[in-house]
């Protein structure tokens, strides 16, 4: 007996549209459009099942042992696609394309979870002064040597679970900024040690939440922490990444873990 397709509510459509950023995740065309002589936008997407709603015999054969969702109509198994990509996906089903869509959808779900967690984590105002100091640092007449601190700490922490490119960015930022950020934080501690300790605990707390949600992906953890700092402070994402790199090196705060 065929499984009946659910009718999704306006709220569920809002979720599906929002997670795409307004573009079909496969072809990147906008999934809202303006009709001629219309003041309101029109929906230009369809709700596509990632794991087929009612697999045909060839599809079932291709799926093999691929796990069937507990609720095939759940939002976790559907995604907004433009009509062209939806039709192509259904008519010319390939397991590789399912895996691509599943990865895209899992990324949407991970981002939504991170944003929810971010909304529940506060951050001390002192971080604004640190980010402003980072943005104002000059490099023309100062060259810092990695011997100023133990760069091997970063290597040990990022030995597994992080891409080489992300690791390189963190190490470069740590070498360039670590000593200056450390000295600036020490000055803030002289003014209000308790507030700085609260700030460090807040950053560590959000890191731990992200690490729990994404235990096998340190790239995501690092970038979610940087995004949280940037959004909460309305400061540059570049400065937030530099500060996050500092906390990777500062093992008492950002314990990324070893093997």
Which is nearest to 256 in space by CA: 161, 178, 169, 175? 161
pLDDT of amino acid 178: 84
Token pair 């500092």 in the structure block, residue: 246
Which is nearest to 244 in space by CA: 137, 156, 75, 130? 130
Helix, strand, coil share of the chain (percent; to 5):
60, 5, 35
Instruction: Kindly report the backbone phi and psi dihedral angles of residue 43, in degrees, each rounded to the nearest multiple of 5, phi listed first.
Output: -70, 125
Our CA angle for 69, 223, 204, nearest 5°, is 100
Q: Taking 90 as the threshold, does the pLDDT of residue 33 lie above it?
A: no
Q: Encoding tokens for residue 204?
A: 């560590």
Among the listed ranges 52-61, 191-200, 206-215, 230-239, which one has the minimum average pLDDT value? 52-61
Q: Encoding tokens for residue 64?
A: 């093999």
Q: Taking 60 as the threshold, does the pLDDT of residue 258 lie above it?
A: no
Task: Say what angle helices 218-233 and 193-213 make with each other, to 10 degrees.
Answer: 140
User: What does the pLDDT average to over 46-56?
Assistant: 91
pTM higher than the cut 0.85 = no
148 touches 182 (CB < 8 A) = no
The pLDDT tens digits of the residues spanning 173-190 come to 888 888 888 888 899 989
The pLDDT tens digits of the residues spanning 126-176 come to 899 899 988 887 765 455 544 455 666 666 777 777 888 988 898 888 888
Cα separation, 36 vs 42, in Å, equals: 11
The torsion region of residue 144 among left (phi > 0), alpha (psi -120 to 50) and beta comes to beta
Q: CA-based Rg of the chain, rounded to a whole angstrom?
A: 23
Output the average pLDDT for the chain. Answer: 86
DSSP H helices, 21-136, are 57-63, 83-91, 95-119, 126-136
């Amino acid at each position: 007996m065929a499984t009946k397709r659910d009718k999704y509510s306006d709220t569920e459509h809002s979720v599906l549209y929002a997670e795409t950023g307004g573009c079909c995740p496969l072809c990147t065309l906008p999934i809202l459009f303006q009709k001629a002589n219309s003041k309101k936008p029109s929906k230009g997407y369809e709700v596509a099942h990632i794991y087929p709603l009612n697999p045909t015999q060839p599809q079932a054969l291709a799926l093999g042992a691929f796990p069937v969702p507990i609720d095939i109509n759940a939002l976790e198994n559907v995604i907004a696609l433009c009509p062209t990509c939806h039709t192509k996906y259904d008519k010319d089903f390939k397991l590789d394309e399912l895996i691509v869509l599943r990865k895209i959808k899992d990324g949407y779900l991970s981002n939504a979870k991170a944003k929810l967690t971010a909304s529940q984590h506060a951050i001390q105002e002192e971080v604004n002064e640190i980010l402003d100091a980072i943005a104002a640092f000059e490099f023309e007449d100062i060259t810092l040597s990695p011997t100023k601190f133990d760069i091997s700490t970063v290597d040990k922490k990022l030995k597994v679970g992080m891409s080489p490119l992300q690791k390189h960015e963190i190490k470069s930022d740590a070498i360039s900024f670590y000593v200056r950020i450390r000295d600036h934080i020490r000055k803030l501690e002289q003014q209000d040690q308790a507030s700085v300790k609260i700030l460090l605990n807040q950053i560590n707390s959000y890191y731990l939440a992200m690490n729990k949600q994404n235990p096998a992906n340190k790239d995501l953890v690092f970038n979610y922490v940087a995004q949280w700092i940037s959004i909460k402070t309305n400061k540059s994402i570049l400065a937030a990444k530099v500060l996050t790199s500092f906390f990777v090196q500062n093992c008492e705060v950002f314990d990324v873990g070893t093997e």
